[in-house]
Amino acid sequence: MAPTGSDRPETDFPRGVGAPATRALVAAGYTRLDQLAGVPATELAALHGVGPKALRVLAEALAERGTALG
């Protein structure tokens, strides 16, 4: 069964972060973009579902807020 809008976790990740990456991040305990500041990109890339595109989108969004991945 496909998830409905109410089944999607509440996050403030940018729109370009796909559903698999969002699920992986939430499962790892991340629900807000600011929680990712300082987290090594290699740690996030190790999560199943987080690929190069998601990392790029997250890094760009963090840069707009004046912070970065670790």
Q: What is the pLDDT of residues 34-57, one digit of tens each?
A: 999 999 999 999 999 999 999 999
Are 69 and 36 in contact by the 8 Å Cβ rule? The answer is yes
User: Quick count: other Cβ atoms within 10 Å of Cβ 33?
Assistant: 19
- Whether 63 shows a pLDDT value over 80: the answer reads yes
Contacts of 44 (CB under 8 A, 6+ apart): 25, 36, 50, 54, 55, 58, 69
The number of CA neighbours under 13 Å toward the Cβ of 31 is: 5
- Whether 5 shows a pLDDT value over 70: the answer reads no
Are 31 and 9 in contact by the 8 Å Cβ rule? The answer is yes
